[in-house]
Amino acid sequence: MKNLNVPTREEVNANNQAIFDNLKSSLGFVPNLYAAMAHSETALDRYLTFQGGKSSLSNKEKEAVNLVVSESNNCRYCQSAHTALGKMNGFAEDEILKLRKGSASDAKLNALVKIAQDITLNKGRVSDAHLENFYAQGYNHGSLVDVIVQIGDKIIMNYLHNLSQIEIDFPLADEL
C-alpha cells in the first residue's frame, strides 16, 4: 500500500521544516522515512525526542537490536538504514548479516540479540533460557527495559515503512 508520499520541506509545517533543516545539516539529507513522519504535525519531533533519549545500551548495542528487530519485522528500509549505521558503529558486513539472523560471535552481544529477537517475535514473551543468559552476561533489569524501549523505537519505523513502502534512500541491504 503506497498511500504516503515523501513530503517536501515546503509541504510540511514550520516545526517540521526546522527539523528537516536540522536533519539536513547533521546527516546531509532528510531520510525519506523521517520525512513521511512529517505528515503529522507532531510525530517527527516526538519520535526524534524518543529516539534520542538516554539508554544504558551503547550505540553498538542499539544497532544490534535495530538490525535483528528490522529483520524480524521484514522491514527493508530499516534493514538498509541500520546496515549503514551498523558499519558506522564498527560492525563488519558479515557481523551485520549474523546480527540480522539473530546471533553474534561475542557472548554478551549474542545474549542481547537473542532476547531482542525473542521479545519481537513473541510479542514480549521470552524463553527462560534467553532471559537467564541475558542476565548471566551482565545485563540487569534496567537493561531489559532499555532493550524493550529500543525495540519499540524500531517497531514504529518498521511498521511505518511496511505500511507505506516509502522509497529506500540508503544502500539496499542484502536479502537473507
* Residues 83, 160 within the same domain: yes
Query: Are residues 68 and 152 part of one domain?
Result: yes
Q: Are residues 83 and 159 in the same domain?
A: yes
Q: Which domain holds residue 29?
A: 9-51
Would 2 be classed as within a structural domain? no
Are 118 and 83 contained in the same domain? yes
Which stretch of DSSP H or E encloses residue 88?
A: helix 76-88
Q: Which residue has the higher pLDDT, 102 or 4?
A: 102
Q: Over 80: is that where the pLDDT of 49 sits?
A: yes
Burial class (CB in 10 A: 0-12, 13-18, 19+), 149: middle
Using an 8 Å Cβ cutoff, are 167 and 6 in contact? yes
Of 2 and 165, more confident: 165
Q: What is the pTM of this model?
A: 0.95
Per the CB < 8 A criterion, the answer to whether 91 and 138 are in contact is: no
pLDDT at 4: 87
pLDDT digits (tens, 9 = 90+) for 133-157: 999 999 999 999 999 999 999 999 9
